[in-house]
Structure 1
Amino acid sequence: MSAQVGGRDPKVIVAFIVTALVWGSTWLVIKAQIGPVPASWSVTWRFTGAAIGMFALGLVRGDIRLNALVPERAVLVRAGLIGVSLFCGNFQFVYRAESHLTSGLVAVVFALLVLPNAVLSRIFLGTPVTRGFVLGSLIALAGIVLLMIREYHAAPAGSDVPLGAGMTLLALVCASTGNVLQAGQVARRVPAAMLLAWAFTIGAAVDFVIAWVLSGPPVFSWSPMYAGAVAYLALVGSVLTFPLYNLLLREMGPGRAAYNGVVVPVVAMLLSTAFESYRWTGLNIAGALLALAGLVVALQSRKPSR
């Protein structure tokens, strides 16, 4: 199915909307996890729960069978690479970035995921990149710079805005790598549930090792807020949404699938305003509008990626 046709498929439209809305909320929920438990352990618990949930969902739907639980070696290796890049590296950096930046700002910067997605898609999948896309990307980057300037001046004591921004950019690279790996032919050999269940499992295993090395023995908080956040991020923010996003990657390609990055920060910034007392000024309003306008220009100029 072409990207254009896929874009009009009701399943694709629903997947696009649901993913954008849910992921817009997860930035704030991630912020709620910071403090009681070291970031690495929070990531570990999220994807441990996601792995269990995805295997259960796959078994119920028939996408995973007990007599064929392990996919072929090439698919398992691909799942491992996706797990390490997307469900380990990406979220290890994101959780730490939110220690220094508001959840809404991290989401706005993360909207630039479309840029590395486009570059890596061009290199590995042959997706064309237009001049309009480059122009829009530069406009978006200018908006991000304005947001960072405001954040730097308004940051409370103890915050390290450049470090937070740097971690967010590293998370972008990891997430984009995982996205492109999901769009390749090897990943298409098995149902998304099978691929993601193993990717969650392998990612959680690596997260576990990193957490133990960096933060010592396992730590978990049974407070309703923390445990509820883990459950929400594992089941709603991962088990529900990553298969939907996998559908977008397969039907639209990595570049176009990242379009929901325009909606996600809008939701995240509104929630940040309501729950984190994020204060809007002329500078950050201009930065947010410039960033989103640049992304719209870039996305409208892109040719179908498949």
Structure 2
Amino acid sequence: MNNTFLYIITVIIWGSTWIAINYQLGDVPTEASLCYRFGLAAIVLLAFCRWKNYSLSFKAKAHIQFACFGLTLFGCNYFLLYSAQEHINSALTCIGFSLIMLFNIINASIWYKTKISGRVYLGGALGLIGIVTLFWPEINNTTLGREALIGFSLCLAGTLFASVGNMLSIRNQKLNYALVPSIAWGMTYGAVFMAILLFIQGKEFSFSYTTSYIVSLIYLSIFGSVIAFGSYLTLLNNIGAHKASYASIMFPAIAVIISTFVEDFNWSSYTVVGLSCIFIGNLVVLSPVNKRKKTSIEPVDGACIT
């Protein structure tokens, strides 16, 4: 698919999943909800692979790779971020997760020796400034204490796991593992990990038969997992992790716009300045590079949004 379309789909879907996630929090343990989410997504993807005759047979070495991929991106990442929100508000969690772009820049340099152009740093800086400005009223009212430190630490740990999962996804592609089967197996192992974690903690599987819980679960599984992750992980290989991860900075902007219509969110000067910085940063990072000039980005990461 066209990279622009993949990017828009990723941003819109993940920018709206915050609504669905709200309906997942409550009586059902987080681990169980995540197990249901990625378990259902894995079943859909495995069925799709069978329908399209994609091979699901891999050697043990590949399954170790898929297990690590699933553990980091579909397991530890979400568990730690959900746990973080038990200690801090969603604004701080959002800011912490937006740092994935910085983590991806560092990890891409370490894992794949990717050289990053100055425009990516500039755009990323604008995006981070925009995120902080957007949520400044909430940040200003936050008491910095033990709870905030614990929550933000959990958030950063979850973000780091997500970044490692991004690197492992790129490794899957470099090893010529087909994308959809790789994601299917990764989500399978992620769901299994959450089930084991639930068991270790002595918690029980439970389920909410309310319409809101079931509908939100289906939305998160099909749209938030199958479609959004498929689009995002394709972008990782097409334009590079450092560029694709700018989507994480765009999520809050989309969430605010949706909240304006759904929850009557009132805009302020912080909202206008924050969103402006985010969108300008997005243009700086993703606008096409002049092909007449040499680019400092390696071919595998060098394709631009078109």
Q: How does 1:1-306 map to 2 (within 5 A)?
A: 10-64=1-55, 69-99=56-86, 100-102=88-90, 106-107=93-94, 109-146=96-133, 149-154=136-141, 162-184=149-171, 188-214=175-201, 216-275=203-262, 278-283=265-270, 285-290=272-277, 293=280, 297=284, 303-304=296-297, 305-306=301-302
| Change over 3 Å in CA distance of 1:151–1:208 after alignment to 2 | same
Cα offset for 1:13?
A: 2.4
CA contact (8 A) 2:243 2:285 kept: no
CA contact (8 A) 1:75 1:187 kept: no
- Any stretches of 5+ residues in structure 2 without a counterpart? 290-294
Range that drifts further, 180-189 or 132-141: 132-141
Task: Give me the whole-angstrom Cα distance separating, in 1, the residues matched to 2:234 and 2:203.
Answer: 37
Higher normalized helix content (fraction of residues): 1
CA contact (8 A) 1:142 1:290 kept: yes
Deviations 1:133-187 (A, max 9, x none): 445544544444455652244469xxx5554443332222111111111112566
Cα offset for 1:225?
A: 0.4
Task: Give me the whole-angstrom Cα distance separating, in 2, the residues matched to 1:217 and 1:257.
Answer: 37
| Change over 3 Å in CA distance of 1:16–1:299 after alignment to 2 | closer
Q: How many residues in Structure 1 have an aligned counterpart in Structure 2?
A: 290
Task: Give me the whole-angstrom Cα distance separating, in 1, the residues matched to 2:51 and 2:92.
Answer: 38
- Any stretches of 5+ residues in structure 1 without a counterpart? 1-9
Range that drifts further, 74-83 or 292-301: 292-301
- What is the TM-score normalised by the length of structure 1? 0.81
Deviations 1:200-226 (A, max 9, x none): 111111111112333611111111101
Task: Give me the whole-angstrom Cα distance separating, in 2, the residues matched to 1:165 and 1:273.
Answer: 27
- What is the TM-score normalised by the length of structure 2? 0.81
| Change over 3 Å in CA distance of 1:30–1:217 after alignment to 2 | same
Task: Give me the whole-angstrom Cα distance separating, in 2, the residues matched to 1:133 and 1:219.
Answer: 44
CA contact (8 A) 1:43 1:207 kept: yes
Range that drifts further, 47-56 or 238-247: 238-247
Task: Give me the whole-angstrom Cα distance separating, in 2, the residues matched to 1:241 and 1:188.
Answer: 22
The one-letter amino acid of 1:56's match is A
Deviations 1:52-110 (A, max 9, x none): 1110111112223xxxx3312232111111101000011112323444424x7644553
Task: Give me the whole-angstrom Cα distance separating, in 1, the residues matched to 2:227 and 2:73.
Answer: 16
CA contact (8 A) 1:30 1:95 kept: no
Task: Give me the whole-angstrom Cα distance separating, in 1, the residues matched to 2:128 and 2:3.
Answer: 28
Cα offset for 1:119?
A: 0.9
CA contact (8 A) 1:19 1:244 kept: yes
| Change over 3 Å in CA distance of 1:292–1:174 after alignment to 2 | farther
Aligned to 1:6: none
Root mean square deviation of aligned Cα: 3.0
Task: Give me the whole-angstrom Cα distance separating, in 2, the residues matched to 1:22 and 1:188.
Answer: 29
Task: Give me the whole-angstrom Cα distance separating, in 1, the residues matched to 2:284 and 2:149.
Answer: 27
